[in-house]
Amino acid sequence: MRLHELKNTPGATHRRKRVGRGEGSGRGKTSGRGGKGQTARSGGSIRPGFEGGQMPLYRKLPHRGFSNFRFRVEYPVVNVGDLERIDASVTEVGVQQLIAAGLLRSGETTVKILGDGELKRALKITATKFSGSAKAKIEQAGGQAIEA
């Protein structure tokens, strides 16, 4: 096969729509843009929620309460069961050991340990946060959960 023998799949290409070329074309006069006004102009677009200068609905309705969305802190999570992947010679686990084991991305400084899975050996784990079930499973295995 040569470059000049390549062809598009049938239906992959479409003819360009030639607008404004007479009434007989079906796309004459207003060229598919409807009537006159702001939306018929080139570059004419109105932002969502704009009501032509009338007081928009979202400004008429009362706003109550507080959203924590902008201020929340999201921690990367590691499950208790994943801690089994850490080298058996390691007894103290921190962020650096989790990065080395591939459980965290490099550069991350915070971590929350969650309680999914089982832990079969005693580990001294230092993390930013622990869930209640994670703390219980670590201590049940004979380890320590230290919040730092």
Report if residue 56 sits inside a domain: no
Q: Helices (DSSP H) in the chain: which residue ranges?
A: 57-60, 95-100, 132-140
CA dihedral sign, ordered 11, 13, 15, 16: positive
CATH number at residue 99: 3.100.10.10
pLDDT-derived band of residue 123, with 50, 70 and 90 as boundaries? Answer: very high
DSSP 81: G
Report if residue 96 sits inside a domain: yes
Does 148 have pLDDT greater than 90?
no
* Tens digit of each residue's pLDDT (9 = 90 or more) over 82-122: 999 999 899 999 999 999 999 999 999 999 999 999 999 99
- Average pLDDT of the chain is 94
Domain that holds residue 116: 77-147
Count of structural domains, the chain? 1
Report if residue 66 sits inside a domain: no
Report if residue 122 sits inside a domain: yes
This model's pTM is above 0.75: no
